[in-house]
Amino acid sequence: QSVLTQPPSVSAAPGQKVTISCSGSSSNIGQNYVFWYQQFPGTAPKLLIYDNNKRPSGIPDRFSGSKSGTSAILGITGLQTGDEADYYCGTWDSSLSAVVFGGGTKLTVL
Amino acid sequence: QVQLVQSGAEVKQPGASVKVSCKASGYTFTGYFIQWVRQAPGQGLEWMGWINPDSGGTNYAQKFQGRVTMTRDTSISTAYMELSSLTSDDTAVYYCAREPRIGETDIHYWYSDIWGRGALVTVSS
């Protein structure tokens, strides 16, 4: 049981937009920055978004992040088949004194 | 280039210990934290803790306290994670990851910008 809640899967057609939600509580998302990772099968996670909405160098602006209250959203526009991957949200939980993650969302580009 | 190179796959018997290494290159080893995250087969990410390579200070997730030890050797820019009393539930890919740090403080950003490729640890009799 993950501390952060993500939908197990989302899907959309190429070129479309998709959003992935990440729900937490006042002790984690509510008071700390959120980050997002992208993970392809058999590979290490890759940082997509940090500090709620910042993109590391090299991450296209098709990827965006936002946070409101105790929830965060990852948005992906102009979907490509190469975006098919698992996406994880994460943050610090001040009550647990631990980094916590969502259970991951599998993106399918139909 | 900036990279973290981890040791190879290991097979351990229940009750044994495993020590995974993580060699950093392309950046100042002591300028960033190292986090350890594991992923069981088909499962999500699980945070284990961090080490400050500069001071050697550590913080472990409560779940692993008493069973995990994170160390470093600054002379070879390498971090280590040792997990003891292994059970089949510890079968997972163990990742080390670099976490940005604000100057010489212990202030964390908590995200990791560079990851190792992972080390598969299989616990089986």
CA-based nearest distance B111→chain A, Å: 6
For residue B37, the SS3 value is: strand
**Taking CA atoms, what residue in B is nearest to A28?**
B110
Grouped pLDDT means (10 residues each) for chain B, 125 residues: 97 98 97 97 97 96 97 98 98 97 86 98 96
Closest to A88 (Cβ–Cβ): which among B44, B97, B118?
Answer: B44
| Cβ distance of B109 and A104 shorter than 8 Å | no
Cα B62 to Cα A77, B31, B112, B123, distances in angstroms? 38, 25, 20, 21
Measured CA to CA, the distance from residue A61 to residue B108 in angstroms comes to: 26
> How much is the average pLDDT of A83-95?
97
Question: How many C-beta neighbours within 10 Å does residue A13 have?
Answer: 9
pLDDT digits (tens, 9 = 90+) for A3-54: 999 999 999 999 999 999 999 999 999 999 999 999 999 999 999 999 999 9
Q: Which of B39, B111, B112 to mutate to test the interface with A (most CBs of A within 10 A)?
A: B111
